[in-house]
Amino acid sequence: MGVAYKLHCERCSYNQNVYMGVGFRYGYLSEIEEWFEDPAGKERIREFMKDDHTKYNCFHGLYVCEKCKYLLNAHYLHLQSDTDSYLQSYDCPRCSEKMPSIPIDKELDHGYSPTCPECGEEKLSVEGFLDWD
């Protein structure tokens, strides 16, 4: 099950809703391949589906740009077989730097609060508002 959070800055009024975790269509690679939007990632999923020994991890997470603090709510996808590996990667939409390879996933449930990407002065308030599946 996934959780949606409202992120809000008291100083500059920045706000964003983010969706974290997994839904019911994350259980099989064939299901992920149906809804996955990135063409390169979709093709890699198809390739890994041919190998019965493929292991994978897929969830919705929050990537925080190390340079400009931009918050990107996107899918984490790691595919691993005996002979190959694939890790979905992202570039920051704001500054074009490579985003971290692993997003924040469950830390919002444990008191983590990212710095506001707009003013850079305030930690964002974090409030869960929806369980999604």
**pLDDT the model gives residue 1:** 83
Percent of the chain with pLDDT over 90: 88
Residue recorded with tokens 């002979």: 83
pLDDT in tens, 63-115: 999 999 999 999 999 999 999 999 999 999 999 999 999 998 767 777 788 99
Task: Assign 30 a pLDDT band (cuts: 50, 70, 90).
Answer: very high
Enumerate the domain spans of the chain.
2-132
110 token code pair:
């444990």
> Is the whole-model pTM more than 0.85?
yes
Q: Please, what sign has the CA dihedral across residues 95, 128, 33, 30?
A: positive
Confidence of residue 121 (pLDDT cuts 50, 70, 90): confident
Tokens of 7: 């992120």
C-beta of residue 41 within 8 angstroms of C-beta of residue 88: yes
What residues have CB less than 8 Å from 3, skipping those under 6 apart?
19, 20, 21, 108, 109, 128, 130, 131, 132
Q: Among residues of the chain, what percentage have pLDDT more than 70? A: 99
Token reading at 112: 């983590």
Taking CA 79 as the corner, what is the angle to CA 86 and CA 90, rounded to the nearest 5 degrees?
50
pLDDT recorded at residue 105: 72
